[in-house]
Structure 1
Amino acid sequence: MPGKILVVDDEIHIRMLLEQTLEDLEDDYDVEILTAENGEEGLDIIREEHPDLVFLDIMMPYMNGYEVCQTIREDENISSTNIILLTAKGQEVDRKHGLELGALRYMTKPFDPDEILETAKQILKLEN
């Protein structure tokens, strides 16, 4: 069954770049790409749509990525959601904190589109 990927980032150009990066999965595997522009909206979509993978920024208005990640892990209905924190915060302490909160991976911006695509394929268990 095809999966769903949610991109949560307050910067429109990052959301668009990630959508472009992941569009091959839409075309080749019928994966649905969803977007949200802040943590609160992202959490609402996660609760409603149950995406298989979330690319989550940390520094956002209303609810930051750490808060979203922690909320997801504490909610048994969505706690199995795969989260990749994708952020400009490149300090080791930030990476460690994100992983402790339950993120599957911690990736920094600027990102390599090929790495994003391969990571999504691995997590969604799509054929190469």
Structure 2
Amino acid sequence: MAKTILIIDDSISLRQVVKMALSGAGYDVIEAGNGQEALKLLDGRKIHLIVSDVNMPVMDGISFVKEAKLLPNYKFTPVIMLTTEAGDEMKKQGQAAGAKAWVVKPFQPPALLTAVSKLILP
């Protein structure tokens, strides 16, 4: 059975690029346009990894990660932040919230797939 990855980004084109890379590698992908939409998808289904942008309308990625980590089913779900934010302060906030990796846009799909394969839940 394929592992499921949740992609959260307000850019539809970026979600498509990430989805193509992940689907091509054999993963099932579900998508959300912001943190609030994504929280609605955390409904008990098994999600093996989350890839989230930081800067989004409605609910940003760091707030989303904090909320997701409060949910018992998703407490240990690894999160990769995929963002244009490269500053150390933002990375610290992401780590404090529970993000396991930080990939800066524009990204190379092989680099993202490497991070995914290292972090994804069994």
TM-score w.r.t. structure 2 length?
0.91
Determine the structure 1 residue equivalent to 2:29. Answer: 33
After superposition, the Cα gap between the structure-2 partners of 1:77 and 1:23, relative to the gap in structure 1 and judged at 3 Å, is closer
> Aligned match of 1:85 in 69, 81, 88?
81
Please name the residue that 2:101 is paired with: 105
Question: For 1:1-128, what aligned pairs fall within 5 Å after superposition?
Answer: 1-26=1-26, 31-124=27-120
Could you list the per-position Cα deviations for residues 91-114 of structure 1 after superposition, in whole angstroms to 9, with x for gaps in the alignment?
Answer: 110011101111011111111111
Within 2, Cα distance between the matches of 1:46 and 1:107? 23
Paired amino acid for 1:85: M
Amino acid at match of 2:92: K
Deviation track 1:1-41 (CA, whole Å, cap 9, x = no partner) reads 43101110000111011011112222xxxx21111111111
The amino acid that maps onto 1:37 is: G
Q: What is the CA–CA distance in structure 1 between the aligned matches of 2:121 and 2:5, rounded to whole Å?
A: 13
Unpaired runs of at least 5, structure 1: none
| Number of residue pairs matched by the alignment | 122
Contact 1:47 1:78 in 2 (8 A): no
Identity, % of aligned positions:
27
**Partners of 2:65 and 2:46 in 1: CA distance:** 14
Gaps of 5+ in 2: none
Q: CA 1:32/1:64 → structure 2, altered by over 3 Å: closer, same or farther?
A: same
Q: 2:7·2:31 contact (CA, 8 Å) conserved in 1?
A: yes
Post-superposition CA distance 1:64-97 (Å, at most 9, x none): 1011000112222321111011111111100111
Moved over 3 A (4+): none
SS of the counterpart of 1:19? helix
